[in-house]
A and B are shown apart, each in its own frame.
Chain A
Amino acid sequence: MTEHMQNNEKKTVNYEKQMRDIMTTYYINAKTARQNNKKVAWITSGGPVEPLIAMDIIPVYPENHGAMIGASKMGVDLCNKAEQMGYSSDLCSYARGDISCATVNGGPIGGLPEPDMLVCCNNICGTVLKWYEVQARYFKVPLFIFDTPIVHTEFSSEMRTYVQRQMDEYILFLEGVCGRKMDQDRMKEVGKLSYEGQQLWQEVLDTAVNRPSPLTAFDAFFYLALIVTLRGTQQAVDYYRGLRDEMRRRASEGKGAIPRERYRLLWDNLPIWYRLKWLSQEFAKHDACLVADTYTSAWCGSLKYVKENDFIGSAAESYTRIYLNIGVDQMAGIVLSMIDKYGADGIVMHSNRSCKPYSFGQYDIQKIVERERGIPSLIIEADMCDERSFSEAQTQTRIDAFMEMIRANKEAF
Chain B
Amino acid sequence: MNHLEEYRRAVSEPSDYARQLKKASGKKIIGYTCSYTPEEVIMAAGAHPLRLFGTKQNISLADSHLQSYCCSVVRGILEEGLSGRVDYLDGMVFPHTCDSMQRLSDIWRMNIPLGFHLDITLPVKLDTASAKDYMIDVLKKSRDDLGRKLNIEITDEALQKAIATTNAIRQSIRAIYDIRNLYPQLMPGEDLYTIVRSSMIIDRDRLAVILAETAADLKERAVGAKPAAVKRILLAGSMCNQPDVYAMIQESGGEIVWDDFCTGARYFAGLTDAGNDPLSGIGERLMDRVVCPAKHADLDGRAKHIIQLAKEKNARGVIFLMFKFCDPHAFDYPYLKERLDKAGIPLMVVEIDDSLPAGGQLKTRFEAFLEMLRKEI
Contact = CB atoms under 8 A, between A and B. Distances in A.
Interface of A: 85-88, 90-92, 95, 122, 125-127, 129-131, 133-134, 136-137, 143, 145, 147, 149-150, 152-153, 156, 158-159, 161-162, 165-166, 169, 327-329, 351, 353, 356-357, 359-364
Interface string B74-99: 00000000000000000000001011
A327 B100 contact: no
A360 B67 contact: yes
B100 A329 contact: no
Interface residues of B, number: 51
20 contacts: A95-B331, A130-B331, A131-B331, A134-B334, A134-B335, A145-B124, A145-B296, A147-B124, A149-B123, A150-B96, A152-B105, A158-B134, A159-B121, A162-B134, A169-B128, A329-B106, A351-B67, A356-B327, A360-B100, A363-B66
B38 interface: no
Given A152-B109, A153-B119, A351-B67, A147 B131 contact: yes
Interface of B: 64-67, 69-70, 96, 98-100, 102-107, 109-111, 119, 121-125, 128, 130-131, 133-134, 137-138, 141, 293-294, 296, 299-300, 322, 324-325, 327-328, 330-335, 337, 351
Given A130-B331, A329-B106, A364 B299 contact: no
Nearest to B334: A86
A95 B328 CA distance: 12
A356 B130 contact: no
A166 B133 CA distance: 12
A356 B68 CA distance: 11
Nearest to B295: A129
Contact of A147 (B125, B294, B333): B125
Contacts of B99: 125-127, 356-357, 360
A90 B324 contact: yes
Given A129-B296, A137-B300, A166-B130, A161 B137 contact: yes
Nearest to B135: A162
A149 B122 CA distance: 7
A147 B123 contact: yes
B123 A92 contact: no
Given A86-B334, A133-B299, A150 B65 contact: no
A230 B98 CA distance: 30
A156 B293 contact: no
A362 B325 CA distance: 18
Contact of B332 (A130, A149, A169, A357): A130
B312 to A, nearest CB: 24
Nearest to B94: A152
Contact of A356 (B70, B107, B331): B70
A124 to B, nearest CB: 10
Nearest to B338: A86
A18 to B, nearest CB: 37
B106 A152 contact: yes
B106 A86 contact: no
